[in-house]
Chain A
């Protein structure tokens, strides 16, 4: 029942930490690595606030056993922007007002990043499907969908 060593690459940086066997990836990011951009909402996979990219795929990090991610690569919302430029999805969320209280925003942004890495020309329906795992109680989603479509457009143009 002792803590075990976890090696994991987070936002491009190799990290090593000790975690208890029952730690989720989410708790590890927040409590051990102090990356609190990833939010804990429901802790049962319903709200999507804890979305990160794990080995290339968006996942709810509350449902990942940290030790099962041994040797994996994780991108959190902190890993998107460069020192002087926001990620196009972040920029579009600001411009289109795709957020209000902000609690769900990191998760929505990571879900959008997950979609856009596979599909730079999504329809509004595909965007809604891709963020179906993310709850937002403020925006009503309209501006969120608009922001993601705008980011897609800009990213496609930049390719």
Chain B
């Protein structure tokens, strides 16, 4: 019979000392939605720690706050459901709200934490493209003290992160969006929100005061490489330009060329590349619409982001 010891972390310092003491034999667990699935599975990819360090109860790490100076602060233990329903997230960070809404079902979202989604480092994590596109910074605490790291440097491969032994991700910080910014995430998957993304794309557009020229563009792709990543060449094709359909098409093609997907049960590599191009164009169109001041109710954003399963 397979077993593990359940160690309840009383506070952050206690969690870090437990993780440091037990090293590779320990795993920090919060919502446990990934953990219990991977622990029960057989064969490669299963997780079999000897010690589970429960960090769910650490106080103060579940907060979501927004201020015009500091932007959005997501405690690592904030649930995906809390992010999805947060008024500031819906208003200012649409790609994150739509990423959260396309993340499994409400019962899983009520358990799963954003820190878990980031630390799990799946190329297909549904909150990850939006977090990358909003330039999220990771606050990390470990035995040596705190440090900050851009999320782009956090992902090192499928399931691999920059966290060192004994370190915990405690917070994600997203800078405040500048005026005339719009964004959206679109997920393509066989069973709507309930399945893993075949492709996920988040786009963020900021317009100049003229309302037509692109001041900034940020595009992040999920499930089409070993880690979720920014399509920088596609972004650069848009900056400073007027966002004509041609320009969006060129950026979509550049995003396609940046993708290095694999064949798997959810789709072939060739299909995924086609979908990257289609979804990049589509997310840019809707981000542009929102950046231009058009009000797109959340229910409509949800319909765009993910298809209902039935």
Interface residues of A (CB under 8 A from B): 1, 4, 20-22, 24, 43-46, 48, 51, 54, 57-60, 62-65, 67-68, 70, 111, 114-115, 123, 125-126, 128-130, 132-134, 140-141
Contacts and interface: CB of A to CB of B under 8 A. Distances in A.
A68 B54 contact: yes
Contacts of A43: 40
In this complex, the interface size class of chain B, counting residues with CB under 8 Å from chain A, is 35 or more
Q: Is the interface of A mostly helix, strand, loop or mixed?
A: mixed
B279 interface: no
Given A44-B37, A129-B308, A60 B52 contact: no
B194 A1 contact: no
Contact of B104 (A22, A111, A114, A133): A133
A130 B56 CA distance: 24
Given A58-B107, A63-B31, A132-B193, 18 more contacts: A21-B6, A21-B52, A43-B40, A44-B37, A45-B37, A48-B107, A51-B107, A57-B110, A60-B33, A63-B111, A68-B29, A70-B8, A111-B106, A125-B299, A130-B106, A132-B105, A132-B308, A134-B105
Contacts of B40: 43-44
B8 to A, nearest CB: 7
28 contacts: A21-B52, A22-B3, A22-B39, A24-B36, A45-B108, A46-B194, A48-B105, A58-B106, A58-B107, A58-B110, A59-B107, A59-B111, A60-B108, A60-B111, A63-B37, A63-B108, A65-B6, A68-B57, A114-B106, A115-B106, A125-B299, A125-B308, A130-B106, A132-B192, A133-B104, A133-B194, A134-B105, A141-B310
A133 B106 contact: yes
A30 to B, nearest CB: 15
Contacts of B299: 123, 125-126
B309 interface: yes
Nearest to B7: A21
Contacts of A134: 105
Interface of B: 2-6, 8, 29, 31-33, 35-37, 39-40, 52, 54, 56-57, 81, 104-108, 110-111, 192-194, 299, 302, 308-310
Contacts of B56: 68
Nearest to A50: B107
A57 B54 contact: no
A22 B4 CA distance: 7
Contacts of B31: 63
